[in-house]
Structure 1
Amino acid sequence: MLAAVYHGRRDIRIQRRPDPPRPGAAEVQLAISLAGICGTDLDEYLTGPHLIPMNGRHPGSGRGGPLVLGHEMVGTVVDAGSESGWATGDRVVPGSGVWCGACRWCAAGRTNLCARYYTIGLHADGGLAQFVNVPGKICRSVDGLADEVAVLAQPLAVAMHAARGCDLRPGAVVAVIGAGGIGAPAIAAVAALGAVPLVVDVAAARLRAAERLGAATIDAARTDAVSAVREYTGGAGAEVVIEASGTPSGLAAAVGAVQRGGLIQLVGLHRDPAPLDLTRLVLDEIRLVTSKVHVCDRDLPEAIDLLRRRPELADVLLAPVIGLPELESGGLLPLAAEKTAGKVVVNPSAHP
């Protein structure tokens, strides 16, 4: 099969690899229809390895690099283990993470914090390939959804998890800083929960996409974002700020734009040291919370349900589909240059 294999920083190779073996009793083998790439993949490509274990084996998966990237995917079951719960021909979306089911965090329903948690495509071979084996328990049915819609389920589940963690009230103004791979789905998630998204970004194409999703927008390349958020909210600031850019400037804007007693939700990963105005957080009793991936049993079904109700979200959230040979030139490099306005999606079978 053809696969995108991570070998290190700026070293992703499109290679022929053996097809996966027969799946285990609790696994399924998927023929991948579409797979997405996100900021985490870009981070590993540009400055990694950060999460991919290149000098050892991950304690949860037992795997180390080089490995196949890809944790956002939709596919068809072509082989199913006897205990997987699936049958050949089923169309499914896997969640990105695998949990043990036995630790204290799993017992509390916080499977995304499992003591032995690992991620498909970062700690084990992923979906930027023609075939992949995954545990049946992380899969959910997407029968009736087009591939171009279903491939959004995992990133939308991440956004749903983040938005739910904000304790949103109907009508609350939520400033979303960064309308990229997670920020854009967060707009849809915020709106689905009855709040009002206000999007801050520097890219005109992403701002236009945000407006198509029903958000008010602020062009931070042309105006001071904090002042604009406060003007929009009558001087008070946003009740909630979702920081999805992963940049120091985005974090500073989040602290400046949130109102007294408000909440900042960190979703974007911050690799660079960033100053944080802790004095303001304390004096104005601002809550700072974080969000990691999603809880498969709750967030993934809700994301799929939202896509069933609003399949037109794919028209706004997706960039044109590319093939595996174009992964770097048509996907990662444009993402790095902020020249894409939607989720970059790969068809692993679209190659010469």
Structure 2
Amino acid sequence: MSGQTHLPKLSIGSLGGTVSMQASANGCAVVPRLGCEELLANVPQLRELAQLEMATLGLLPSASLGFAALLDVLAWARVEVERGAQAVILTQGTDSLEETAYFLDLLWPFDAPIVMTGAMRAASQPGCDGPANLLAAVNVALAPGSRGRGVLVLMNDQVHSAARVRKTASLAMAAFESPGAGALGDVVEGVVVYRQPATRRQVLPLPQRTEHRVALLEACLDADTALLQAVATLGYEGLVIAGFGAGHVSGCWAQVLDMLVPALPVIVATRTGSGPTARATYGFAGAEIDLQGKGVHLAGQLCPRKCRILLWLLIGSGRQHLLQSLLPG
């Protein structure tokens, strides 16, 4: 035990998801069952690397997480770092991992990293990847090069930034990528190798309001405007559109946006999954030049789901006027 006192301190919180799932009584469907201590019991070598503080923060599939729960997780993580944790590790389901990581990253004020991980195979399935991902996440959390990088996502021995990572496959083991940018680094034989140094981060204040809502709609072929027209009347305070191609909508949608923009902030992103929105190429009605002229914000590299999170946090802190400056080109 005396050797333990010289090890760095890490705090690990589990939220549920596939990494915590086991087969139910009938032996088929998997559901969240394992708390944090049970997860760590499958990786005994972790205790040789760090002093571990453990907390089961939830047992939910990640599609059922919400902003309020994430603010509670953030508060827990802040306390852990203030009590001396060198880093925080969070395990959760992969379905919303790209969104929760970005939400927490926008609000995380410390140099100490948060490392998020999960699994594509349940704990009761052969070849489950949860233990390997958890061990690699600890390697990332302890690496000096991880400091100052905010929230990191570790999956399949690759380290991704919260702003760029996306789940790009539904069931494949290699389900996470950072389209257009690539992973920040890799874990090779327990050593974290980063491809570039940490860059300066901008941290947002905690939202003072949490009851507001931001809508997300997808542009698609021959879509009518009924839902688009209803956004403002239903009480939404912001709108994100996953647009065609380089950030385009139909001519009839553009007409509705002309009326919506004075009432609420609107972002148009690309639904393609990779690449930025354009700025000055297309001039038809509903293209980027037309939309910018109407006061629509173009998302640049930020995906539609993360645009919604950014806009929700800015509205909650009364800083929506900063939106354009925070959208990556």
TM-score, scaled relative to structure 2: 0.27
Q: Which structure would you say has the larger Rg?
A: 2
Higher relative contact order (CA closer than 8 Å, sequence separation 6+): 1
